[in-house]
Amino acid sequence: MNLQASRSVSAVSDAATRQPRTAVFTICSNNYLPGARVLMKSLARFHPDFSLFVGLADTRDPMPGLYDGPFEVVAADEIGIPGFKNFAFSYDIMEFNTAIKPFMFGYLFEKMGFDRVIYFDPDILLFAPLDPIINAFDTGASFVLTPHLREPAEGGSDPDDIAIMRAGIYNLGFLGASRPLESLPLIHWWQRRLYRHCINAQDKGIFVDQKFMDLIPGFADNCRILRHPGLNLAYWNLGHTELGYDGDDGKWTANGLPLIFFHFSGFDIRKPGALTKHSRNFRAPHEPALAALLNHYANQMWGAGFGTIPAGTFAYGRFASGAQVPMLARRMFRETTPDWPTDPFTTYEAYLQQAAPDTNRENPCTIISNFQAWLREHFPNLRQHLDLRRAHDAWVMTDWYVNHFAREQGIDLRLIEPVAQRLGNRPPALSHVPEESWSRSDVTVVGYLKTISGVGMVARHVLSSLVDSPLEVDGFDVALGVVSDRSEESLDAHLSKKIDGRVQIFASINADQLPIVLESVKPQMKPGYRIGMPAWELEKFPDAWVGSFDGVDELWAMSKWVQRMLAGRVDKPVIYMPVPLALEAPDTTGVREKFCLPEDSFLFYTSFDFLSFIERKNPEAVVAAFKECRRLIGKDRHVALVIKTLNASFAKGKAEALYQLVEEDPDIILLDGVLSRQETLELMAACDCVVSLHRCEGLGFLVAEGMALGKPVIATDYSATTDLLDENTGYPVNFRYVPVKAGEYPMAEGQRWADPDVVHATWIMHEIVSDPEAAARKGAAAKKMIDTHFNVDVIRTRQLARLKTLGVTTYGQE
């Protein structure tokens, strides 16, 4: 007999001489802890002698009180799963929650020494003691299972018996096991299988952890299948079970027997009209007993804090860069590199982007990445029609990947950007750059240089970085169609009345205005190599505007977001060229008093221009998150929200709606009007945290400036701000895609943008107020990142390198 078997026999012998020790556990990620808490309280009520555990399919969060309850938490990385990071990377959140199940059984048996271990899904509630299960153990059961169905399901059954055969005969929302000799070897077998194969592939006979249990009755002589109607009652067997409720004594029954536990699989307490999302049956109006049951469970879930913990906190959902790990990348990892030698969350993203072997290398703009090559094998239509060794097919694959793949598959756009950057770096038409002449400047920056707005600021950043270079540089101010304030004078000394630069940069003049501006300045403009630098916020650049760039020779994208939209859409270079964002923090002495801000409050800050579309800037979400954060904080700390706006007079209806939303709230301070650049920075610097729950951004000055000032910044984890902010430099907010509604943004038909998770934003606001030291560390990391990568010297060097490629050099560059 081997050592492991000897230990198992000894454990059985010991158990016979004492009361068996029983552990009950559930598994969930942080966001479903309210459900786990409800389950565990019901277990503690009926079985106070059991030891209760939550297997946390996540990492521990420092939020105070999060794990309060009658249970002990065991995080997934504490269970002892070998090669844990590879294991976690292999699965999405649903698969991961189920894959750790056999490892928790092993942990509780072998490391904690329990004799009996019972598992429940966290969406289960007990209504009576587990007597049939305990009796099964007492009479020698090694495994205890409950079938989905206790009789045939045909006709209008949903699911019917065929669907159940695909999903698994036994429902793994419940499983009991004890320590006889036959159980541990089978749990070890289950661990080995789920280490690689805990996937939803019903066409291959696998449904995460569940289908493997179909084999257990054939493997284990002492497996017990319980058919008590009150065990694991749910939508799949409720159709042939009579649910009863006695309101006088508050007890439910199933076919006249006690209801022991109900499985609320697929029930959304926010939508009580349906028992489950998984079946078309059991829709409102419900029978009285079912209606009472759902109401009872919903009340307990609300009371336990359901909906207050965001799903965006899942620790194994993202690369170290902050980009979401797509399911396709996890599948590629499982199928091609399961024994990856380093932490895949840190290193596998780079591997996805590396050039794939045996693919075409003729054009450096369309080099195929490892991920693209795997996708070609994964999708039959690509495999059938594309040979990536051919230059044309490499172009087709690249164009599909950059312009269609992300939307079709819901892929994080950060994974598209490296390919888009290569695609945009096509050679310039050097013959367009005029020869050097002493009678003209090297570069003229054309833009809204005197306008107080985001587009004006971009133009000023471009001009200010170049005027301090060895090149001869001037600026040309555009006022065409401007309604914003035009009092900015900081660069007046560098303005010219003509556009005579050998290179002419039309900075932040957008596509709809660029042809109009080019036509209007013809009398002042000499021939030159023209660079457009447009802003755009939505995912897809409008087809109708692509022709607007016919008048320029190349495009500079101020963010990777903009570059991804334009690369391949225009037949000219699209170069990533950020603008300088670093700045010196102003003195804030007396600033709060100057703006009538409460001196001792923690101040959140947001700002926007009404001319930039309030629907895009989304201040209502900031207000909602702030109010809920204030409620959670209570009297522990006074918090307030500062909202700085501009140009409210041009959007009176929308401004009035915002005023009504915040009126009579003493903790929300609204400031509208024109401030100088110095005053704007002083106001922001006098606050404690910057918040931008935007729906999309082409650059994101609010986020950039908050980071440059060293503030903790909360921002929607979407669009151009992902160039700047990740979990190391700030607080990204989870989101869902929603369609852009008519009238919310121009040229938006058929487009989508982000709807930030207000619950997640609230959670983060509360976290920042509760842990100011951690927030300060992130603020310092943000400032260091901006100062290092977006300072004026770095950006100027990048600009000059590109201009040198175009043939614009000085003596020092030769």
265 in any annotated domain: no
Confidence label for 597 from pLDDT (cuts 50, 70 and 90) = very high
497 and 415 inside one domain: no
pTM: 0.88
Task: Give the DSSP letter string of 759-777.
Answer: HHHHHHHHHHHH-HHHHHH
Give the Å distances, CA to CA, from 371 to 160, 387, 406: 39, 15, 13
Q: Rounded mean pLDDT of 355-361? A: 95
Eight-state DSSP code of residue 757:
-
pLDDT tens for 3-47 read 344 444 444 445 455 789 999 999 999 999 999 999 999 999 999
Rounded Cα distance between 96 and 194, Å, is 10
Of residues 409 and 17, which shows the higher confidence score? 409
**Would you state the structure tokens that stand for residue 641, as one six-digit string?**
């929200």
114 in any annotated domain: yes
112 and 37 inside one domain: yes
- Where on the phi/psi map is residue 510: left (φ > 0), alpha (ψ -120 to 50), or beta? beta
628 and 704 inside one domain: yes
State the pLDDT at residue 399.
94
**Would you state the structure tokens that stand for residue 682, as one six-digit string?**
């002083």
Q: Please, which residues have CB within 8 angstroms of residue 791's CB and are 6 or more apart in sequence?
A: 580, 582
State the pLDDT at residue 157.
86
Q: Rounded mean pLDDT of 681-697? A: 97
Confidence label for 204 from pLDDT (cuts 50, 70 and 90) = confident
Q: What is the CATH number of the domain that holds 172?
A: 3.90.550.10
379 and 454 inside one domain: no
Among 83-87, 154-158, 187-191, name the one with the lowest average pLDDT: 154-158
State the pLDDT at residue 428.
84
Among 70-79, 96-105, 134-143, 476-485, name the one with the lowest average pLDDT: 476-485
Q: Rounded mean pLDDT of 439-445? A: 90
- In this structure, which amino acid lies at residue 621? A
Q: Rounded mean pLDDT of 426-433? A: 77
808 in any annotated domain: no
Which one of 188, 213, 231 terminates a domain? Answer: 231
558 in any annotated domain: yes
Among 92-101, 270-279, 285-294, 485-494, name the one with the lowest average pLDDT: 485-494
Q: What is the CATH number of the domain that holds 645?
A: 3.40.50.2000
Give the Å distances, CA to CA, from 80 to 84, 112, 318, 342: 8, 12, 22, 18
547 and 671 inside one domain: no
491 and 381 inside one domain: no
Q: What is the mean pLDDT of the chain?
A: 92
**Residue 462 three-state SS:** helix
Give the rounded percent of residues in the chain with a pLDDT score beyond 90: 81
Which one of 200, 231, 262 terminates a domain? Answer: 231
Is the model's pLDDT at 82 over the cut of 90?
Answer: yes
* Residue 637 bridge partners (DSSP): none
779 and 689 inside one domain: yes
SS (H, E, C) 234-280: CCCCHHHCCEEEECCCCEEEECCEECCEEECCCCCCCCCCECCCCCC
575 and 602 inside one domain: no
Is the model's pLDDT at 487 over the cut of 90?
Answer: no
Q: The domain containing residue 468 runs over which residues? A: 430-580
293 in any annotated domain: no
263 in any annotated domain: no
Residue positions counted in the chain? 814
509 in any annotated domain: yes
Is the model's pLDDT at 431 over the cut of 70?
Answer: no
**Residue 106 three-state SS:** helix
460 and 404 inside one domain: no
Contact 101, 6 (CB under 8 A): no
Confidence label for 454 from pLDDT (cuts 50, 70 and 90) = confident
Residue 768 exposed, middle or buried by CB count within 10 Å (0-12, 13-18, 19+): buried
Task: Give the DSSP letter string of 488-542.
Answer: --TTGGGB-SSB--SEEEEET--TTTHHHHHHHTGGGB---EEEEE----SSS--
Rounded Cα distance between 502 and 440, Å, is 7
**Residue 756 three-state SS:** strand
Q: What is the CATH number of the domain that holds 573?
A: 3.40.50.11930
State the pLDDT at residue 481.
77
403 and 435 inside one domain: no
Residue found under tokens 């077998």: 189
pLDDT tens for 551-595 read 999 999 999 999 999 998 898 999 999 999 999 999 999 999 999
Is the model's pLDDT at 376 over the cut of 50?
Answer: yes
State the pLDDT at residue 765.
97
**Would you state the structure tokens that stand for residue 139, as one six-digit string?**
């009479």
State the pLDDT at residue 12.
46
701 and 681 inside one domain: yes
- Residue 814: CB atoms within 10 Å: 6
pLDDT tens for 760-793 read 999 999 999 999 999 999 999 999 999 999 999 9
24 and 108 inside one domain: yes
Query: Closest Cα partner for 757 from 783, 778, 721, 731?
Result: 731
Rounded Cα distance between 357 and 794, Å, is 34
Please count the structural domains in the chain. Answer: 4
Contact 122, 34 (CB under 8 A): no
- Residue 249: CB atoms within 10 Å: 6
pLDDT tens for 109-124 read 999 999 999 999 999 9
**Residue 570 three-state SS:** strand
Helix pair 391-400, 370-378: axis angle to 10 deg: 90
CA 722-725-726 angle, to 5 degrees, is: 95
Which one of 580, 613, 630 terminates a domain? Answer: 580
156 in any annotated domain: yes
State the pLDDT at residue 4.
44
Is the model's pLDDT at 808 over the cut of 50?
Answer: yes
**Would you state the structure tokens that stand for residue 703, as one six-digit string?**
């986020």
Rounded Cα distance between 423 and 367, Å, is 9
